[in-house]
Structure 1
């Protein structure tokens, strides 16, 4: 039992999309002074970049919008994350399938696509910007900002006993 609502954002390597979501959500949580209520983390389905800082392009684009990702370091998603988290939010269908494979059946209800919480955008996934250009990183931020707002609306609307496990 914890008194914090725990979120884990998940992408493939935990250097672009999920740390962007992590940084955006941390910023939004802090701006509402909800740090004692909501805990934010991120992870990757693969161990490609464990221990590395977010991609410099992700950091640059996030910084231009006022988000600091520099303190984050990549880690791999673990089975225990599903027990600890209240929601595990994946960025795309591939990572959803990989997370489902490692998620205990009793915890499947915690696994969602981040874009399910978008308020303005109608996009099923947050596309991977890694091999693309500048616009990809901006699109990630647009989708992540929208989804994080929707996620906060969702969490704020939960009954207190459910939101504060």
Structure 2
């Protein structure tokens, strides 16, 4: 059975993308879709390669009732993008980086769709585009910013699940 594969992507893969993957994977499991959907995360840069999830991110996930399993940051490479059906960027900058990779290897990445996580957030204003859809980086902030990041990620999950279900049908 072919699985629908979703990759979440941020800069270093220690805050937003692993949190997004944890939130989405929990929702996929709760919806009974774990046999059909695989969720992963990666970063656009190599600086944190092999590093664990940021402690503040893990704590925010746990406060919201999510698991913060073992995680090792990794970088997404163009030759891997073809393996993912839906790639969800945390910011416009990430989306542009990923889109350039996809466009550089069209024969590899023909089935890869790159979207922004924020496009699925129902709290976004109608017609919001570009950096308006960014999931802000909490790295230089205190705990409330990490909690807000998780809440923002959670808001998008119902719409994401609807989009995933439509691709499974």
Q: TM-score, normalised by structure 2?
A: 0.86
Quote how far apart the aligned CAs of 1:68 are. Answer: 1.3
Which position in structure 1 is the counterpart of 2:82? 83
Which has the larger displacement, 123-132 or 103-112? 103-112
Aligned to 1:111: 114
Q: Distance in 2 between matches of 1:45 and 1:143?
A: 21
Moved more, 98-107 or 71-80: 98-107
1:52 & 1:159 partners in 2: Cα distance?
33
Distance 1:98 1:135, change over 3 A: same
Can you give the 5+ residue segments of structure 2 that lack an aligned partner in the other structure? 126-131
The two structures, once aligned, show a CA RMSD in angstroms of 1.7
Residue matched to 1:132:
141
CA distance in 1, matches of 2:63, 2:168: 36
Q: How many residues of Structure 1 are paired with residues of Structure 2 in the alignment?
A: 159
The TM-score, its normalising length taken from structure 1, stands at 0.88
Consecutive aligned runs of 4 or more in structure 1 exceeding 6 Å deviation: none
- Decide which moves more: 69-78 or 86-95: 69-78
> CA–CA distance in 1 between the matches of 2:28 and 2:7?
14
CA distance in 1 between counterparts of 2:79 and 2:164 reads: 22
Change (3 A) 1:159 1:35: closer
Distance across 2 between alignment mates of 1:53 and 1:140: 18
